[in-house]
Structure 1
Amino acid sequence: MTTTALAQRIEVDGRPATAESLLWPALVQTGHFTAMQVRGGKVRGLDRHLARLDAATRELFGHGVDGEHVRGLVRHILRDDITEASVRVYVHAPDGQPSHLVTVRPPTVLPATMEARAQSLRSVAYQRPFAHIKHLGGFAQARHAELARGAGFDEVLLTGPGGEVSEGAVTNIAFFDGTDVVWPDAPHLSGITMQLVRSRLPAAGLPTRQAPVTLADLPSYAAAFVTNAWGVRPVRRIDDVVYGIDEKLMAAVAGAYEDVPWDAL
């Protein structure tokens, strides 16, 4: 995976960011965002990104979001010189009205092989509050992820009472029982990549269902994989439970994602 931690462009409501315009986002954590990968000036699942922004803005601030306005803001910050990028659109409401902060970073590219993409996860007893919103202020999940990486893992698996599996810190997870792909039904963020993949798996010969999954259930599954804005990756292990990389499964999952059309901004 290649990326960078620093934003190369930041705009607030279509204007270059200033110290003044960044003061509210820096000090107030009430807000939400969506993250997308841009290729050739296009985005997969653009309608879902816009719907996410609209729904969360209505819930948090009582206002809707104009999707065409958001598209215009993203086009504006990319201009004519950036066609490949990682873009985030944040929504705050410093004066009671939605304000959009847009950042641009270089694109994230996953390794070509599933072997190189494989993830190891460490389970932690934590669930994101208001998990259905991609909200700000995720200190706990970020700290758990840092500690997991320090212990030799790639990511964390968030769990609730009784070891109920919900999601990763920045991923959704699915399990394969040899026939069906099972998505945990504990509180989680419905990721855009998860939505796109899940809707297309039945056509690829992989039935899907949502069901409770606990840590005690993990050895009963044949394989697992995670999804997020970067794409799909197999899971190599969770704690002491080791999974083989099911190349046939991952080819079907990756193929379902690759078949998603790109939407022009």
Structure 2
Amino acid sequence: MTTRLPTTTDVTRLEIDGAPATADALRARALDTFGHFTAMQVRDGRVRGLGLHLARLDAATRELFDQGLDGERVRDLVRHALAGDGGDGAAGVIADASVRVYVHAPDGAPSLMVTVRPPTELPAAMADRAQALKSVAYVRPVAHIKHLGGFAQAYHGRAARRAGYDEALLTGPDGEISEGAITNVAFFDGHEVVWPDAPHLAGITMQLLEAGLADAGLPWRRGPVRLRNLPGYRAAFVANSWGVSPVRRVDDLELALDEKLMATVAGVYEEVPRDLI
């Protein structure tokens, strides 16, 4: 039985550079897949790891468009979209939301599209979040950037769900694991957490966990992890902007739900203060 985690598909608000999106502006973005984005969960107008989100956007904009991206501009545009004063009739401040910031450069300068959707909440009980992962032979190109070329991730993710799984697990040559389709993944050998070091996106939640796990008495490292070696691990979990969830199965390999591990990992994440946008 799969764990159907919540999804957020309905866009409540959509603004481009602080104004309601026009048909022409949306058409330009629909025809231009060269860009990048970040995704965040906003609660009471605050975000965990806001500085990391801003640094991600700036670094990717420099790499893709040879220009920096001012973090204050990003914050202003997100606040504007959440405030609902863009002239599109969607009045009222939204305090809790799933927010994405997309960066294109249709005229040479960075242009930002902000989308606001309902917030995503994981089930409270870890057992209700536990995921089954289906391994697939695919590694994202330019994996260190959260870019817009996500067709293969969506394809493999949908195929995994049709096969009764919750998420695709991306692997390269010799079954080396890199990441999930929309998550980072970590494995626990009973002593330390191992993050796969194959090409992957360093997710914001992953970075926040890395900053706090050792202080919580849980050492971690990055290293190669291959499918054939998974029986040597005691447990695993995935992490993304929604939070952290245990892994209960990879292909046909059942994994135990390590309550102590997940309590520590979730505790580290929950203790990260939210930054005011």
TM value normalised by structure 1 = 0.99
Residue 48 of structure 1 is matched in structure 2 by 52
Q: Residue deviations 1:133-190, cap 9 Å, x none?
A: 0000211111011011000000010000100000000000000000000000000000
Distance in 1 separating the partners of 2:13 and 2:230: 42
Equivalent position SS for 1:5:
coil
Aligned residue among 19, 31, 37 for 1:15: 19
Deviation, 1:38, is 0.2
Question: 1:119 is matched with which residue: 105, 127, 131?
Answer: 131
Query: In 1, are the aligned partners of 2:133 and 2:251 still within 8 Å (CA)?
Result: yes
- Tell me the distance in 2 between the aligned counterparts of 1:3 and 1:106: 9
Q: Which amino acid aligns with 2:144?
A: H
In the other structure, the counterpart of 2:113 is: 101
Residue in structure 2 matched with residue 226 of structure 1 by the alignment = 238
Give matches, 1:31-42, under 5 Å. Answer: 31-42=35-46
Q: Give the whole-Å Cα distance in 1 for the aligned partners of 2:149 and 2:188.
A: 32
Deviations 1:14-48 (A, max 9, x none): 00011011112111100000000000000000000
Which amino acid in the other structure matches residue 262 of structure 1?
A: R
Shift of 1:118: 0.1
| Deviation string, structure 1 residues 169-224 (Cα, Å, up to 9, x no partner) | 00000000000000000000000000001110001110000110000111100000
Q: Does the CA-based 8 Å contact 1:9-1:103 persist in structure 2? A: yes
Question: How far 1:4 sits from its partner (Å)?
Answer: 2.9
Alignment of 1:50-199 (within 5 A): 50-79=54-83, 81-199=93-211
Distance across 2 between alignment mates of 1:74 and 1:2: 23
Distance 1:137 1:26 in 2: 12
Question: What is the identity percentage for the equivalent residue pairs of Structure 1 and Structure 2?
Answer: 68
Output aligned runs, 1:241-256, within 5 Å.
Answer: 241-256=253-268
| Code of the aligned partner of 2:141 | P
- State the alpha-carbon separation in 2 of the partners of residues 129 and 106 from structure 1: 30
Secondary structure of the corresponding residue to residue 22 of structure 1: helix
Distance in 2 (alpha carbons) for counterparts of 1:5 and 1:86: 10
CA distance in 2, matches of 1:69, 1:138: 26
* 8 Å contact from structure 1 (residues 159, 165) kept in 2: yes
Report if the CA contact (8 A) 1:185-1:212 is conserved.
yes
Q: Give TM-score scaled by structure 2 length.
A: 0.95
Residue in structure 2 matching 1:202, options 183, 208, 214: 214
For the 8 Å contact 1:3–1:106, the answer to whether it is kept is no
Is the 1:225–1:232 Cα contact (8 Å) retained in structure 2? Answer: yes
User: Once superposed, which parts of structure 1, at least 4 consecutive aligned residues long, lie more than 6 Å away?
Assistant: none
Pick from 228, 234, 248: which aligns with 1:236? 248
CA offset at residue 2 of structure 1? 3.5
| Consecutive unaligned residues in structure 1, runs of 5 or more | none
Give the letter aligned to residue 213 of structure 1.
Answer: V
The Cα of 1:3 is off from its aligned counterpart by 4.0
| Number of matched pairs | 265
